[in-house]
Amino acid sequence: MFLNAFLILGISYLSGAIPTAFLAGKLLKGIDIRQVGSGNIGATNVFRSVGKIAGASVLIIDILKGVIPVLLTSHFAPQSGMEIYKILAGLAAICGHNWTIFLNFKGGKGVATSAGVLLTLAPTATFIAFALFVLIVAITRYISAGSILAASLLPPLVWYLNPGQTELFYFVLVIAILIALKHLPNIKRLLKHEEHKFSFRKN
């Protein structure tokens, strides 16, 4: 059982740790995504600095980095405690994205990978939060504001829509806190009206 848990966590972390945005910048444009635009290693910065197709591709892959480890856990983890294994696999994937071993433990903000994890664990709550994200971004054009508000909505949604799943609720609460902490610089810029608005046009 310990070996299974170790393998699941290790594989999940490495899945999340694939630096998709960094690779897109290097392979498609020969740039270090950390040195251009916002400097963030995520899909939004790829949209701005590399292009729409590259940004969309990074977004999809980053979501899959959360989906795949949780789905694989269903096949390899023991049935006893399966939900806990899925949660741990999801957390490992998110940590891999946020603190990737391939870039000196500096990574993205984990929104897309967290969304992928939650799509498999709490799909209804995730779709509602995503709808709020789209609405906020459509109104304000601030990706960061949409991400923060959608993440903050997830814990109460999971509490209401997934009654009795205490472990899942606390896991989602941790994710929401991580996303908020990762967005602290964005929050400061939003308060100063200095945050960059999202545009499909490449910088």
What tens digit of pLDDT does each residue of 13-59 get? 999 999 999 999 999 999 999 999 888 899 999 998 999 999 999 99
Interatomic CA distance for residues 16 and 107, integer angstroms: 10
Per DSSP, helices labelled H in 77-141 are 82-98, 111-121, 123-140
Give, as one character, the DSSP assignment of residue 33: G
Place of tokens 């949409």: 146
pTM above 0.75, yes or no: yes
Interatomic CA distance for residues 137 and 124, integer angstroms: 20
3-state helix, strand, coil in the chain (%, to 5): 75, 0, 25
Task: Name the helix (H) or strand (E) containing 172.
Answer: helix 166-182
pLDDT in tens, 67-97: 999 999 987 777 777 899 999 999 999 999 9
